[in-house]
Copies of this chain bind each other. A is one copy, B any other.
């Protein structure tokens, strides 16, 4: 199977995921602006998930560019990643409709975590396929975001059972980490960093 194929199929699935999430933004019964009020948390969680899927789409391409050819395990690792991404609409809608509820916020974190794990597994498959002097392995060595993100999720998931708001704040923080261009953040961390 050609790499272009795998990319095109993944693009298709990701394009559908990012778009059907909006179907959870149900048309309100009322006609006043106040009818939109209960939709605000649904809208905000849609924005957050849109950004996450956008980040995955972006990183997925850079990852596949590093792959020379497509192996069977790589193909299934990729489908495994798409599987967890496909659960974003469900997790987003449940959290959005129950803004301050504990379980939906924890489940959202579990889906984020599993997607991160699936991404890491795909990365490993590509590194293995590149053999000893894998360029991707070296590039990933300095990938602090990829290492820090799962720790944030692992912290946020149990925390959601006590304080869903803080967990949601952590999910936003991780998204911002990936959104803001690297150099600026790294400098900021160097100056004021923990």
Contacts and interface: CB of A to CB of B under 8 A. Distances in A.
Interface of A: 1, 5, 7-9, 11-20, 22-25, 27-28, 31-33, 35-36, 47, 50, 54, 57-58, 61-62, 72, 75-76, 79, 82-83, 86-87, 89-90, 93-94, 97-98, 101-104, 106-107, 179, 181
Please give the count of copies of this chain that the complex contains.
Answer: 4
B13 A18 contact: yes
Main secondary structure on chain A at its contact with chain B? helix
Given A13-B15, A28-B94, A61-B5, A22 B87 contact: yes
A59 to B, nearest CB: 11
Nearest to A19: B16
Nearest to A47: B83
Contacts of A8: 8, 11
A104 B35 CA distance: 10
A88 to B, nearest CB: 9
A33 B90 CA distance: 14
